[in-house]
Amino acid sequence: MLQKPRGTRDFLPDEMEARRAVEWRLREVARRWGYREVCTPEFEDLELFTMRSGEGIIGEMYVFEDKGGRKLALRPEITAAVIRMYINEAKVAPKPLRWCYYADCFRYERPQKGRYRQFWQFGVELIGADTAAADAETIMLASGMLDATGVTYDLRVGHLSFMKNLVKDLEPAMQRKVRAHLDKKDFDGLNATLESLKKTDLAASLTALVATRDLAEAFEIAGTIPERERVEQTIASLDAAGVKYSLNFGIARGLDYYTGIVFEGFAENLGAENQILGGGAYRLAHLFGGDDVASCGFAIGFDRVMVSLGETALNRKDTIVGLACTDDGRMRALAVGKAFRDAGIRTEMDLMGRGLGAQLAHASKSADFAVVIGKREAETGEVTLKNLKTGEQKTVGLAEAIAEVRAHGAR
């Protein structure tokens, strides 16, 4: 028997309904903040992703050559593609641009719970605003979106300038290495690297920086930071807006395009793969031939949010009508079914040639109401409506039956 590729998943209807419901909650929050949806190709020129991150990233991607010999990659994330699109299509549009997306990404990773080779991100990019207000807005939106999903999470906010200031005397390659150690919370690796560089004094400051949750203390540890005022303004805005977060200056972010504020969300009930959101301020446009536009954004790991919500996300909201009929009621039942569906009610009719009793037995397993059309109903134009939960049954006009089913859905 053929199986799906490693690291991919199939989604049955119950799960798809739950996913769509959560997806729409996220869309609704994005809409309220003025973020409009964009869509980019599933695959891009490989260069789009190697330009910033180097050839090393190829090992983590699905890379292939097409029939024309072009080197392409399935997108491992959407930010680079959105910025490419901004340069191609919207460079002259009034700033800032507020864009969002819901899209699948592909990473060649070792699959485990919460880590897949195909996964979905709901993300936003705020392009062309280089202010504390912009940094704060994306974090407020991130927290609003996670709230809307119903997930229990912990939002951590940091800023790269602290870490950067401490390691500024190291060579750029070593700075990246230190950042990678911190991103992975690999303190043994960090100590070994600093020892090899004869910079063991740095280890104490970096460890203290990672540990502190206090802004004043972080400034004390990291020294003079040019972005100080902006960091203070951003944090003050978050407090004024009532965002729940904790400060964490150990956030280094894996992708290397971030420049300033960085933030991550963690779900409380997931195992190792508990990061459900990541983002920050970044600059990419200049790499792709555009102006050096400042941007800030984040992506929610949609699949991890769904894993975190678990069974609670599976509650079906739809009211279902099972339409049952006798042979001489069938033609009338087709019209009744149309009337129910036109009223927005999910209505399913027997397709198996079952007798009325078997149709009702089937409806009682899957539906909330049965609507019965027999010979009598076909003649009078009425319908027999049975509430399958209470057993209550009555024969009423079509409009009244529809109103009753609708009222049930509204409860």
Binding site for ligand HAM (CB under 6 A): 77, 79, 107, 109, 115-116, 119, 121, 123, 125, 254-255, 275-280, 282, 297-299, 301, 303-304
Give the tokens for residue 202: 């740095």
321 neighbors 364 (Cβ within 8 angstroms)? no
CB of 108 to ligand HAM, least distance (A): 9
CB of 277 to ligand HAM, least distance (A): 5
* 79/91 Cα distance (integer angstroms): 16
CB of 52 to ligand HAM, least distance (A): 11
* 214/375 Cα distance (integer angstroms): 76
| Closer of 91 and 115 to ligand HAM (Cβ) | 115
260 neighbors 227 (Cβ within 8 angstroms)? yes
CB of 276 to ligand HAM, least distance (A): 5
Q: Is the peptide bond preceding residue 96 cis, with omega within 30 degrees of 0?
A: yes
- Residue type at 216? A
| Closer of 309 and 398 to ligand HAM (Cβ) | 309
Angle between helices 330-342 and 398-410 (to 10 degrees): 40
Q: What is the number of helices (H) and of strands (E) in the chain?
A: 15, 16
| Closer of 118 and 387 to ligand HAM (Cβ) | 118
Residue-by-residue DSSP string for 254-319: SSTTEEEEEEEEEETT--S--EEEEEEEE--GGGGTS----EEEEEEEHHHHHHHHGGGGG-----
CB of 344 to ligand HAM, least distance (A): 34
CB of 75 to ligand HAM, least distance (A): 10
| Closer of 227 and 377 to ligand HAM (Cβ) | 227
| Closer of 275 and 364 to ligand HAM (Cβ) | 275
Burial class (CB in 10 A: 0-12, 13-18, 19+), 278: buried
* 87/290 Cα distance (integer angstroms): 6
CB of 280 to ligand HAM, least distance (A): 6
* 288/306 Cα distance (integer angstroms): 34
345 neighbors 405 (Cβ within 8 angstroms)? yes
Say how many C-beta atoms besides its own lie within 10 A of residue 55's C-beta: 8
CB of 244 to ligand HAM, least distance (A): 18
| Closer of 49 and 162 to ligand HAM (Cβ) | 49
| Closer of 116 and 340 to ligand HAM (Cβ) | 116
- Local structure of 139: helix, strand or coil: helix
- Share of the chain residues as helix, strand and coil, in percent rounded to the nearest 5: 45, 25, 30
CB of 160 to ligand HAM, least distance (A): 13
* 195/313 Cα distance (integer angstroms): 49
| Closer of 84 and 332 to ligand HAM (Cβ) | 84
Which residue of the chain is nearest ligand HAM when measured via CB? Answer: 301
* 339/328 Cα distance (integer angstroms): 19
* 19/28 Cα distance (integer angstroms): 14
| Closer of 277 and 405 to ligand HAM (Cβ) | 277
Per the DSSP assignment, residues forming a β-bridge with 281 are 296
Say how many C-beta atoms besides its own lie within 10 A of residue 316's C-beta: 13
| Closer of 121 and 149 to ligand HAM (Cβ) | 121
CB of 333 to ligand HAM, least distance (A): 46
| Closer of 238 and 251 to ligand HAM (Cβ) | 251
CB of 265 to ligand HAM, least distance (A): 7
